[in-house]
């Protein structure tokens, strides 16, 4: 029984390490491409995305992280209102979030509303870039730095140097 608990603990710690790496490259690209960014916003189900939030917090090193907790698509209007009032410098999509993760209609809604008020979005997947995230890099992009030039222009940010544009 003790071996089983040790194995589960080891697997849990290893999984956390893998998730942490998902955001290291993204945060490096955000800091390099958008040096003005000091406050990042995340819209997610905070209970369901606890591990991803922890990994993002670790990778964000020195940046402020504003988490807007949502439980379903019906909460997107309130989330946009909160973000509009607080004006973060950028928004980060959590790929695995069941409410506002990459590929969801809620994420598309958020990306469009944030770009309209000049808040760019960053993601770790190609799906996030195709939805309108201005910058993306991570396991879901094959490690390639990607950008959506059209949305970057709307949000008022530069396309990162060396990025593959979609």
36 — pLDDT class (breaks 50, 70, 90): very high
Domain boundary assignment for the chain: 21-165
Q: What is the pLDDT of residue 13?
A: 39
pLDDT tens-digit series, residues 115-132 = 999 999 999 999 999 999
CATH class of 21-165: alpha beta
Q: pTM of the predicted model, to two decimals?
A: 0.85
Phi-psi region of 31 (alpha: psi -120 to 50; beta: other; left: phi over 0): alpha
With CA atoms as reference, report the closest residue to 80 among 48, 112, 50. 112
């Amino acid at each position: 029984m003790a071996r089983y608990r040790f194995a589960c603990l080891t697997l849990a710690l290893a999984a956390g390490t893998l998730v942490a790496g998902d955001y290291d490259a993204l945060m490096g690209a955000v800091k390099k491409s958008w040096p003005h960014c000091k406050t990042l916003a995340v819209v997610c189900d905070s209970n369901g995305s606890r591990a991803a939030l922890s990994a993002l917090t670790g990778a964000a090193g020195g940046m402020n992280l504003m988490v807007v907790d949502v439980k379903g698509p019906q909460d997107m209007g309130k989330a946009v209102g909160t973000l509009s009032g607080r004006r973060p410098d950028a928004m980060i999509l959590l790929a695995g979030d069941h409410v506002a993760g990459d590929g969801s209609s809620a994420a598309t809604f958020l990306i469009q509303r944030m770009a309209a008020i000049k808040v760019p979005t960053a993601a770790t997947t190609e799906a996030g870039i195709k939805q309108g995230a201005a910058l993306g890099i991570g396991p879901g992009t094959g490690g390639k730095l990607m950008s959506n030039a059209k949305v970057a222009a709307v949000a008022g940010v530069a396309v990162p140097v060396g990025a593959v544009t979609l």
